[in-house]
Amino acid sequence: MSVKANDTYRISCMAGLSSDRLTSFVMLYQPLVGGDGILVYLTMMAEAQNRTAFEHRRMFTLMQNISADTFERARMRLESYMLVRTFRKSSKTHDSYVYMLNLPMGPQDFFGSSYMRRMYTEAVGDRQATLTKGILCESAVPVEQYSEITVQTRNIATMDFDNETEYVTVSPRYRFSGSDDDTIQFDYETFLVNTSALVFPAELRTQETMYQIGHNATLYGISPKRMSSLVCHCVNLETMSFDERKFDILCRKEKPDETVTSDDPYDMSPVSFLMARQSGKPVSKADRMVIDVLGKEMHFPNEVINVLLEYALARCDNRLNTNYISAIAGTWARKGIDTKQKALDDLASIQNKPVQQRKAPAKQPKREVAMPAYWNSRNETDQQTLSEDRLKILQQMQKEMEK
């Protein structure tokens, strides 16, 4: 099925062409892919600067209105020499294409490949192939018989300074939280290398999204390679949006990376820590929600969360009692506990504190309310009258029973 003018395309290329690769591409690849192949590849390389999708008619117009069939044949030749990879998604109205460009090999790598044999036998013949190889392998201009007369210039203004420079190795540090949050332990560099801009566009890589990615990876023990796959499932290219809720759900269900090990078990992700405590069994959804609250809402690092989980399991018969954990977590948040040692010291102080005996509350004395004098006098009179009447009734009943 040939590409149509209204079909859309997006192009990805990890790097541009250096002068060495460009020379190799024109002199070595051109006899194999043809002039049309050179034109299509260089046009795609230039179009890789665009991040939005365009219709193929734009590319056809840029290449002097070449036909779709000519473009298709040139692209297939590029594919056969591993210069282009093509992906297609069909819909009711049109097809969407993604072209991923690979850089051509340098001259030395090309000479050692099977492509060089094709140049000798099929493309240009032995004579031209040998000539091209000689040109590209030619060394620099010899200067052995010449004398260098370059004027040595000295910077007088800096002669009195110590020109000895101390070099410090700087490793890349990615911060996306807006503050010095050292709780994230995630290899952003590997993640970005493995995640193409075609599936996770640059406009979606906001500070909040990247922080969420690193935080979830640290909390749930997800590797950069696996995280790349999870992120791709949450990107909607049509609406250009990132589903954060779906991303959290997928991460919460993810099994931690078993290849990540540490000398200190408290440095493990909380999910891995719990799995180790329960002989590798999966962590329940309820327990993952407890971890989620401690990590995302309370912002505790992994080592503090693991100390708290271990203490709660020991005190609550191997159960993660939510109310018990929340009470301790709230106390720690107010105390500013953010390291393992601070957490252990606080727990030690709690265990060493003597238990105070609770005293029973003192009994409250009974309150006696004095009744007014008229009430007591009325009560005595009524009581006396009532007794005489009751006595007469009883005597009358006794006489009737004797008859």
According to the model, what pLDDT value does residue 43 have? 92
Intervals of the chain under pLDDT 70: 1, 120-122, 134, 137-146, 148-183, 258-263, 352-388, 402-403
Q: How far apart are the first and last CA of the chain?
A: 129
Residue 86 is assigned to a structural domain of this protein? yes
In the chain, the number of structural domains is 3
* Sheet strand arrangement including 8-13: 54-55, 8-13, 95-101, 84-90
According to the model, what pLDDT value does residue 37 have? 92
Q: Both 24 and 68 in a single domain?
A: yes
pLDDT single digits (tens) 143-162: 556 676 666 555 544 555 45
According to the model, what pLDDT value does residue 139 have? 45
Alpha helices in 233-365 (DSSP H): 244-253, 270-277, 285-292, 302-315, 322-335, 340-352
Q: Both 315 and 217 in a single domain?
A: no
Give residue 336's region: left, alpha or beta (phi > 0; psi -120 to 50).
left
The structure's pTM equals 0.43
Return d(Cα 48, Cα 51) in angstroms, integer: 7
CB within 8 Å of 346: residues ≥ 6 apart: 332, 335, 337
According to the model, what pLDDT value does residue 343 have? 86
Residue 375 is assigned to a structural domain of this protein? no
Q: Both 234 and 328 in a single domain?
A: no
Torsion sign, CA atoms 45, 47, 48, 53:
negative
Domain that holds residue 75: 8-114
Structure tokens at 351: 């265990």
pLDDT single digits (tens) 339-394: 888 888 888 887 766 545 444 455 566 666 566 665 556 555 555 555 667 777 77
Q: Are 218 and 292 in contact (CB under 8 A)?
A: no
Q: Both 15 and 109 in a single domain?
A: yes
Q: Both 110 and 12 in a single domain?
A: yes
